[in-house]
Amino acid sequence: MLKTVGMLSTPFLIAGHVGFFILATWLLMALIHRVMPVKLRREYNDVIGFLSAVVAVFYGLLIASVLVIAINRFDHAQQVTETESNLVADIVRNAEAISPEIERPVRKLVAQYLTDVIAMEWPAQAKGQESVLATAPLIDLAVSISRYAPQTQREVAYYQQLTGTLTRLYDTRKERIFIADEGIADVVWIVSLAGSLLTICFAMFFGIENRRLHFMLAAFLAVSLALVFALVAIFDRPFQGGLTVSDEPYRLVREQIVQGLK
């Protein structure tokens, strides 16, 4: 369910969170005003204020930590994407330095790999689906490299760099797939949401005669919490939704590699 929420466009995501929190605030206010009269609540404003501050600080730190994790996750996904595309370019350069005999097939397979990543894996990631559709050309690439026997010490040196770069490419690709498939745990979302509603609930317990003013103040609190949750949802899934990691690094590298095939 939370994975599906992250696939919504940014405006709908923000509007949905704000609408949910305002609706929850209105329902809580209607319930509390019916159960506890304003005069009774006003007598305990000092105690309510103290407890409300404690709860707000505790859950504020929790929600802020979750937001930082989500933003760092998005930034890390961008770094992994750039690293993967750079490793692909390094593989071609290493093969080119060894021999035309290995450079040509490596260039073709790498170009096919990038094409599959852009055309198949990226749309699949955007839908929250399995993103291992570009595995075949990568396996063929590994087989093609393993069949080549370097002839000179110079070729041996570049061949070792080539195989090492291929290994790092595999590792980086796995990391991208892991980031695309995983997100903040559901239990963290649930606890953070419960804490936010509890914070709003405490604000409802204040004894304020003007009911409209009371609702407006609580609604401002609800909107601020909703915006934070919307940000978390936007950054939590780097390859889904309105704000996503771009496939532009792959496109740029592919364009350079394809030019070498002409």
- Tokens, residue 181: 């498939």
Which strand (E) or helix (H) includes residue 262? none
pTM here is 0.81
Q: What is the pLDDT of residues 150-203, one digit of tens each?
A: 888 998 999 999 999 999 999 999 999 999 888 888 899 899 888 888 888 888
- Assess contact for 219 and 22: CB atoms under 8 A: yes
Q: How far apart are CA 94 and CA 89, in angstroms?
A: 9
Is residue 118 within 8 Å of residue 250, measured between CB atoms? yes
Which structural domain, as residue segments, surrounds residue 125?
2-259
- pLDDT at residue 212, rounded to an integer: 85
- Whole-Å CA distances, 225 to 79, 187, 206, 221: 29, 18, 19, 6
pLDDT per residue over 14-30, tens digit each? 888 888 888 988 888 88
pLDDT tens, residue by residue, 91-121: 999 999 998 889 999 999 999 999 999 999 9
pLDDT in tens, 121-148: 999 988 888 777 888 999 999 999 999 8
* ∠ Cα 220 223 226 (to 5°): 155
The angle, 0 to 180 degrees and rounded to 10, between the axes of the packed helices 211-236 and 186-204 is: 170
Alpha-carbon distance of 219 to 214, in angstroms, equals 9
Contacts of 77 (CB under 8 A, 6+ apart): 176, 179, 180, 238, 239, 245
For residues 236 and 90, is the Cβ–Cβ distance under 8 A? no
Q: How sure is the predictor about 215, in pLDDT bands with cuts at 50, 70 and 90?
A: confident
User: How many structural domains compose the chain?
Assistant: 1
How many whole angstroms separate alpha carbon 159 and alpha carbon 153? 10
pLDDT of the residue at 1: 42
Question: Would the pLDDT of 4 be above 70?
Answer: no
Residue whose token pair is 């094409």 = 115
Task: Report how far apart the first and last C-alpha atoms of the chain are (Å, whole number).
Answer: 47
pLDDT for residue 205: 83
Is the C-alpha dihedral spanning 15, 17, 20, 23 positive or negative? negative
pLDDT over 70 at 5, yes or no: no
- Token reading at 85: 């595309």
Residue with tokens 């069949």, as numbered in its chain: 147
Q: Which residues contact 40 (CB under 8 A, 6 or more apart)?
A: 207
Q: What six digits make up the tokens of 123?
A: 């749309």
